[in-house]
């Protein structure tokens, strides 16, 4: 496409720079200002994410986009600095702690149902509702109502930062070093300062107030300690990781739920089957224990994450010479894993563009052909939290409502930092009684 056309396309929708060959070949390479490669081969991806992890750190562009907001947190840090943080934060997302937080997810699902019920019979933007529901979860598991922090201010500041700073710069395309200022990121300074101040104030307030009966995410982070080095996070490290969990913890799950409802609306057989499962399992409202009894609804979430992965592309900057798919990789090359293309690759999936949740009901796909949460040592630390939340909310909604599409209202998948449904997910909603299910 050329440098200028690539920049314009990427700033509007990063998916638009994926070549047609990305779903047909194991690897595609090219050059703008920098050498780049797109890798869709599971063995090569395993090499990058597991076998030679240190040679493929997060790309310079990724760090340039996110470091101003989340510093050297788990998402950005490398090597020993990443390892001790991961060890310190791992207990936060233990099965026990995630299960303890399930009632918060249930409450958010119930509140979303009440809001949707109040809007019937008109069409409802389910994307807006899912963002609110998942942010309510993130806010409650982070702040527990113990501080004076206005969680909506956090949400507004995050959105403002992403709108200004989250777009690829011409300097990124040309391979300029990170110390060269990017204009969009300079313009986002006010939102960034507000975001960090809110987090700092929350941490200080919690230290003064102390922990409640059931520790929330902030309590667990404050108590976190690397079992090997006995190191704990300082204020800056706590803040950066707190912001990482807030940003990653709500929008990604909201996107999965929004796309899942969109897909279910177009396949009433899938929706009826899921509704019957939910109504047979739920006793009034969903609980953490119910999640294991909802395999088909979990399969809907898995298939949605295949078709519409929230992180549609991840990228690395090679640190050493290597060979992937028979091609030479040089230090400094940008090596991308276009997860959106990987999940729709014609050599890896039967009917790759079809919505078929049953493909996740039996034998699971190749581990490195399906990467909604990444893999290897840096697999998303909050994956189990996100999946539990998504199943609880989706089951609650499908047990109570029938969703049908609205002609001419199909959302366009647009990726800036995440894969969002441009225009929202507008669906018709009607209440369904338990005895009318199926």
What is the model's pLDDT at position 218? 86
Q: Which of 32, 252, 304, 317 is catalytic?
A: 252
Indicate the Cα dihedral angle 52, 57, 59, 62, nearest 10°: 140
- In terms of residue numbers, what domain contains 82? 3-436
**CA 251 to CA 259: how far, in whole Å?**
12
CA proximity to 18, closest of 243, 387, 411, 339: 339
Largest distance between two CA atoms of the chain: 63
**CA 151 to CA 236: how far, in whole Å?**
19
Is 31 exposed, middle or buried (CB count within 10 Å of its CB: 0-12, 13-18, 19+)? exposed
CA atoms within 13 A on the CB side of 375: 20
State how many domains the chain has: 1
Tens of pLDDT, residue by residue over 331-376, are 999 999 999 999 999 999 999 999 999 999 988 888 999 999 999 9
What is the model's pLDDT at position 169? 47
124: left (phi over 0), alpha (psi -120 to 50) or beta: beta
CA proximity to 97, closest of 382, 367, 304, 295: 382
- Catalytic residue at 380? yes
- Catalytic residue at 252? yes
CA proximity to 392, closest of 384, 381, 404: 384
User: Strand 314-317 vs strand 322-324: parallel, antiparallel, or unpaired?
Assistant: unpaired
The DSSP symbol for 14 reads G
Radius of gyration of the chain, Cα coordinates, nearest whole angstrom = 21
The DSSP symbol for 416 reads S
Tens of pLDDT, residue by residue over 191-218, are 677 778 878 888 888 887 777 677 888 8
Asked if residue 375 lies in contact with residue 309, where contact means CB atoms within 8 angstroms, the answer is no
Give the end-to-end CA distance of the chain in Å, rounded to a whole number: 49
**CA 384 to CA 104: how far, in whole Å?**
15
What is the model's pLDDT at position 30? 85
Q: Which of 380, 396, 401, 403 is catalytic?
A: 380
User: Strand 124-125 vs strand 426-431: parallel, antiparallel, or unpaired?
Assistant: antiparallel
Q: At what angle do helices 189-209 and 151-165 cross, to 10 degrees?
A: 150
What is the model's pLDDT at position 11? 56
- Catalytic residue at 325? no
pLDDT at 259 exceeding the cut of 60: yes
Tens of pLDDT, residue by residue over 40-80, are 999 999 999 999 999 999 887 777 777 777 888 888 899 99
Q: Which residues contact 417 (CB under 8 A, 6 or more apart)?
A: 65, 162, 166
What is the model's pLDDT at position 435? 53
Q: Which residue has the higher pLDDT, 317 or 142?
A: 317
**CA 417 to CA 351: how far, in whole Å?**
27
What is the model's pLDDT at position 437? 44
- Residue ranges in 266-400 assigned as alpha helix (H): 268-281, 295-307, 339-342, 383-400
Q: Which residues contact 118 (CB under 8 A, 6 or more apart)?
A: none
**CA 326 to CA 6: how far, in whole Å?**
26
CA proximity to 395, closest of 93, 113, 101: 113
What is the model's pLDDT at position 173? 46
Tens of pLDDT, residue by residue over 218-241, are 888 888 999 999 999 988 899 888
Q: What is the mean pLDDT of residues 129-138?
A: 91
Tens of pLDDT, residue by residue over 144-196, are 655 445 556 666 676 666 665 555 544 454 454 554 454 455 445 666 777 78
Tens of pLDDT, residue by residue over 64-121, are 777 777 888 888 899 999 999 999 999 889 999 999 999 999 999 999 999 999 987 7
Structure tokens at 349: 């999936």
Q: Which residue has the higher pLDDT, 143 or 146?
A: 143
What is the model's pLDDT at position 154? 65
User: What pTM, to 2 d.p., does this model score?
Assistant: 0.89
**CA 116 to CA 436: how far, in whole Å?**
20
Q: Which residues contact 320 (CB under 8 A, 6 or more apart)?
A: 52, 55, 331
User: Strand 35-39 vs strand 419-422: parallel, antiparallel, or unpaired?
Assistant: unpaired
Q: What is the mean pLDDT of residues 123-148?
A: 82
Side by side, the strands of the sheet bearing 35-39 are 27-31, 35-39, 334-337, 314-317
User: Strand 334-337 vs strand 419-422: parallel, antiparallel, or unpaired?
Assistant: unpaired
Q: Which of 93, 171, 373, 401 is catalytic?
A: 373
Mean pLDDT, the chain, whole residue set = 85
Q: What is the CATH number of the domain that holds 60?
A: 1.10.630.10
The DSSP symbol for 285 reads B
CA proximity to 40, closest of 20, 26, 24: 26
**CA 382 to CA 157: how far, in whole Å?**
22
Q: Which residues pair with 401 in a beta bridge?
A: 431
Q: What is the mean pLDDT of residues 286-311?
A: 96
**CA 375 to CA 420: how far, in whole Å?**
22
Query: Cis peptide before 388, with omega less than 30 degrees from 0?
Result: no
């Amino acid at each position: 496409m050329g440098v200028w056309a690539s920049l314009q396309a990427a700033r509007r929708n990063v998916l638009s720079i994926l070549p047609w060959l990305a779903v047909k070949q194991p690897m595609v390479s090219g050059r703008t200002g920098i050498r780049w490669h797109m890798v869709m081969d599971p063995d090569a991806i395993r090499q990058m994410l597991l076998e030679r992890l240190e040679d493929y750190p997060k790309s310079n562009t990724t760090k340039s986009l996110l470091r101003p907001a989340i510093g050297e947190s788990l998402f950005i840090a490398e090597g020993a600095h990443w390892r001790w943080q991961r060890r310190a934060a791992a207990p936060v997302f233990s099965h026990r702690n995630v299960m303890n937080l399930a009632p918060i997810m249930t409450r958010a699902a119930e509140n979303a149902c009440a809001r949707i019920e109040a809007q019937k019979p008109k069409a409802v933007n389910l994307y807006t509702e899912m963002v609110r529901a998942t942010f309510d979860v993130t806010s409650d598991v982070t702040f527990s109502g113990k501080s004076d922090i206005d969680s909506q201010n956090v949400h507004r500041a995050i959105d403002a930062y992403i709108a200004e700073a989250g777009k690829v710069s011409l300097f990124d395309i040309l391979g300029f070093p990170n110390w060269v200022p990017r204009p969009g990121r300079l313009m986002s300074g006010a939102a960034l300062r507000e975001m960090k101040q809110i987090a700092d104030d929350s941490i200080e307030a919690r230290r003064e107030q102390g922990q409640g009966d059931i520790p929330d995410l902030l309590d667990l982070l404050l108590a976190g300690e690397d079992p090997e080095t006995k190191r704990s996070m300082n204020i800056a490290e706590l803040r950066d990781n707190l912001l990482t969990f807030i940003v990653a913890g709500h929008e990604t799950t909201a996107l999965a739920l929004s796309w899942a409802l969109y897909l279910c609306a177009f396949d009433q057989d899938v929706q009826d089957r899921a509704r019957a499962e939910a109504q047979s399992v739920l006793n009034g409202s969903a609980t953490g224990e119910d999640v294991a009894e909802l395999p088909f609804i979990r399969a809907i979430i898995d298939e949605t994450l295949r078709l519409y992965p929230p992180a549609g592309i991840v990228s690395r900057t090679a640190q050493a010479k290597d060979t992937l798919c028979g091609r030479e990789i040089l230090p400094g090359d940008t090596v991308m894993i276009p997860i959106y293309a990987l999940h729709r690759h014609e050599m890896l999936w039967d009917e790759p563009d079809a919505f078929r949740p049953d493909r996740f009901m039996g034998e699971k796909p190749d581990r490195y052909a399906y990467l909604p949460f990444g893999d290897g040592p840096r697999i998303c630390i909050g994956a189990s939290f996100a999946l539990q939340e998504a199943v609880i909310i989706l089951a609650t909604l499908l047990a109570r409502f029938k969703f049908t599409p609205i002609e001419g209202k199909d959302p366009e998948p647009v990726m800036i930092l995440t894969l969002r449904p441009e225009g929202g997910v507008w669906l018709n909603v009607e209440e369904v009684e338990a005895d009318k299910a199926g």
